[in-house]
Amino acid sequence: MNHVAAILAANIKGRRKVLHMTQLQLGERLGYSEKAISKWESGKGLPPTAILPRLARALEVTLDELMREPVQRPLFLGIDGGGTKTEFLLADGKGEILRRLVLGRSNPNDIGADAAKELLRKGILEICDEQPLHCISVFAGLAGGGTAGNTEMLQAFLSRFGFLSVQCGSDAHNAISAGLGTENGVAVIMGTGSIAFAQQEGRQHRFGGYGYLLGDAGSGFALGRDVIAAALHYEDGSGADTLLYDLVKKQCNGKTVLEKLGSFYEGGKALIAGYAPLLFTALAKKDAVAIAILHHHMQEVAKLIVGAAKQVKTDPVRVVLCGGLVFANRQYILPILEEYLKKEPRHYILSVCETSMAQGALYLAGMPRNQENMPC
């Protein structure tokens, strides 16, 4: 493909897509076949010189614009991978989101390195389709991606795509970027798992996040586990009456909850976390067991916040809660957390992060922040 053919191919295809025209529709306007348009857009053929003015009018550009080499603008790709889903965002330097894609979980510790790489490959090829990869800066923050071995593996894998720049880390980095930016404070991530980070003058300190065997209070997994446990205890007579029983039985589609015990263990963390929303359904009806479960977990999260706040010198301490679970259920979570934190000698200002974790990854990829896209 010669240089002129490459320029025309890119401009014809780009303008046609901006105008939401198919190749067939453009061909009909010009009196040419869909196959001819396809050849021009692939650079395998050139449109006749005589029709170039008509082609420019059909594409609503001047002839000079049609023949001009396109300016390659910088683009940014943010990837946020968790224990339940992975979100990809492609944006330009002005912060405009060009494309969004959501795929399944990508924690390499849960699904294996090969499966994580395959999911990333699929997502990148789909969201970056027809975009010049050498103009794209990437940050991929994945659950499990912060350990040395996984960071190196992901860095090496993503570097093969030919991006302008590649950086990797944990999904926690995305949350800190989205929630705190460069400000001092505490970011609490309540996703499938849970973890807290204190940030003071750019230095970050980790608290909790030891996994489902050793903690994760307030996480989707821990709440879902306690929801199922409450249903099982009511069923065997050792627990209190609770609306959670019928809710769990309906979701697991069993005559009893006990008969689904094997499927709970086989389903893993993501399946268990899928039962967490039932807690808030029961809370809306003032279910006593659901209230007790949430109070227990928020008391543990409050302890995590108080511990993390020891690294923060500002007063009051800014605390940002991140994650889909807290975003959707702030009316239940915030008052209980505030109740426990009011008992502490320091003052805390709580808020829920309105910025997506994937957008936090965009900032880490190098996308400029503006006043409309400041941290929560």
- DSSP for 33-86 reads -HHHHHHHHHTSS---GGGHHHHHHHTTS-HHHHHSPPP---EEEEEEE-SSEE
Residues 117-155: pLDDT tens digits? 999 999 999 999 878 888 899 999 998 888 878 999 999
| CATH fold match for the domains 3-67 and 75-177 | no
**Span 75-177 CATH architecture:** 2-Layer Sandwich (3.30)
pLDDT higher for 352 or 1?
352
pLDDT surpassing 80 at residue 290: yes
- Contacts with 132 (C-beta within 8 Å, 6 or more apart), sequence order: 72
Amino acid type, 123: G
Q: For all residues of the chain together, what is the average pLDDT?
A: 91
pLDDT higher for 374 or 288?
288
pLDDT score at 270: 85
Over residues 160-175, the mean pLDDT reads 90
Maximum CA extent, the chain? 86
pLDDT score at 347: 96
Over residues 218-231, the mean pLDDT reads 96
Phi, psi (rounded to 5 degrees) for 233: -70, -35
pLDDT score at 371: 52
pLDDT score at 374: 52
pLDDT score at 375: 57
Over residues 67-87, the mean pLDDT reads 87
Model confidence band, residue 373 (pLDDT cutoffs 50, 70, 90) = very low
pLDDT surpassing 90 at residue 202: no
Residue among 170, 148, 166, 144 at smallest CA distance from 157: 166
Task: Give me the CATH code for the 3-67 domain, please.
Answer: 1.10.260.40
pLDDT score at 127: 95
pLDDT score at 372: 47
Over residues 277-304, the mean pLDDT reads 97
Least confident of 64-68, 220-224, 238-242, 340-344: 64-68
Q: How many percent of the chain have pLDDT more than 90? A: 68
Q: Where are the domains of the chain?
A: 3-67, 75-177
Q: What is the pTM of this model?
A: 0.71
Hunting for tokens 């400000």 — which residue is that? 183
Contact predicate 140/152, CB 8 Å: no
Ordered strands of the 194-200 beta sheet: 203-207, 194-200, 185-190, 317-322, 348-352
**Using CA atoms, how far apart are residues 10 and 13, in angstroms rounded to an integer?**
5
